């Protein structure tokens, strides 16, 4: 019997907003750092490289990594300011999602497991109007990121593995990570056609009501 659902956050519960990309330039301007024509490409490359190289995230460490990789005078507080801007930016509330989470939280314990910083993600959940439906928010500044075991272990604490399912949009970190840990998963995608016995594809988050 299912008792707990683990949710990824970005692009699973909250859609990606292109306005978030502008927060990079906004943070450069805050610190008076020149923002060149190809600056976002260089920044995004450095960010993705940091994510690949680190199991756990730290704001000062990430800021220093940007400074060393990009080659500009990026201060240690850069990521603190950048994520503060990011945490204040969410799309309009999704009433259909709110109704889904009301329904699911009446039957199951819900938890968020996200590979990012806790204060930013909690801010987004609150502004989006869905924070109250989750018992925990687990992040990669506290635990080693998905697909590693640490976040899944914490998310399953107090539950047997057959009592927990994962919902996410990234196969490697969300779905394969959960399967390797021993969980069944719901894979949110409209493009990936792979199939497996330990996960089910859903095209919209609202499809969960059909299965849970």
Could you tell me the strand order of the sheet in which 4-7 lies? Answer: 136-139, 109-114, 4-7, 164-168, 184-188, 199-202
Q: Is 18 a residue whose pLDDT tops 90? A: no
What integer is the mean pLDDT of 135-142? Answer: 98
User: Cα-flanking dihedrals φ and ψ of residue 106, to 5°?
Assistant: -80, -15
Output 20 or 73, whichever has higher pLDDT. Answer: 73
- Mean pLDDT, residues 87-94: 94
d(CA 74, CA 39): 13
CA dist 30 and 46 (Å) reads 20
19 confidence band (pLDDT: 50, 70, 90): confident
pTM of the entire predicted model: 0.96
Rounded Cα distance, 90 and 209, in Å: 24
* pLDDT averaged over every residue in the chain: 97
Pick from 124, 66, 69, 134: nearest CA to 101: 134
Backbone φ and ψ for 6, nearest 5 degrees, come out as -100, 130
The rounded distance, in Å, linking the Cα atoms of 205 and 194 is: 18
Delimit the domains of the chain by residue range: 4-15+91-211, 18-87
Among the listed residues 108, 107, 90, 120, the one whose alpha carbon sits nearest the alpha carbon of residue 13:
90
Contact 132, 163 (CB under 8 A): no
- The matching CATH number, chosen from 3.40.50.10860, 3.40.50.11810, 3.30.9.100, 3.40.50.1000, for 4-15+91-211 is 3.40.50.1000
pLDDT category at 74 given cuts 50, 70, 90 is very high
Stretch (H or E) spanning 64 = helix 59-70
Query: Where are the strands (E) in the chain, listed by range?
Result: 4-7, 109-114, 136-139, 164-168, 184-188, 199-202
């Amino acid at each position: 019997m299912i008792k707990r659902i683990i949710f990824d956050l970005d692009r699973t519960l909250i859609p990606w907003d292109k306005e978030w990309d502008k927060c990079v330039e906004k943070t450069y301007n805050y610190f008076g750092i020149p923002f060149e024509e190809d600056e976002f490409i260089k920044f995004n490359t450095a960010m993705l490289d940091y994510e690949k190289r680190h199991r756990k995230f730290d704001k000062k460490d990430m800021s220093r990594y940007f400074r060393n990789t990009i080659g500009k005078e990026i201060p240690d507080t850069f990521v603190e300011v950048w994520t503060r801007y990011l945490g204040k930016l969410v799309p309009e509330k999704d009433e259909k999602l709110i109704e889904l989470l009301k329904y699911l939280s009446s039957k199951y314990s819900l938890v968020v497991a996200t590979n990012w910083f806790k204060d930013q993600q909690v801010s987004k959940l609150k502004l989006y109007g869905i924070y109250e439906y989750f018992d925990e928010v687990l992040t990669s500044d506290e635990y080693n990121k998905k697909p590693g075991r640490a976040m899944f272990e914490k998310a399953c604490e107090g539950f047997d593995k057959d009592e927990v399912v994962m919902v996410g949009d990234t196969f490697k970190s969300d779905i394969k990570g959960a399967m390797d840990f021993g969980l069944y998963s719901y894979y949110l995608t409209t493009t990936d056609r792979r199939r497996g016995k330990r996960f089910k594809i859903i095209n919209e988050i609202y499809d969960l009501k059909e299965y849970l």
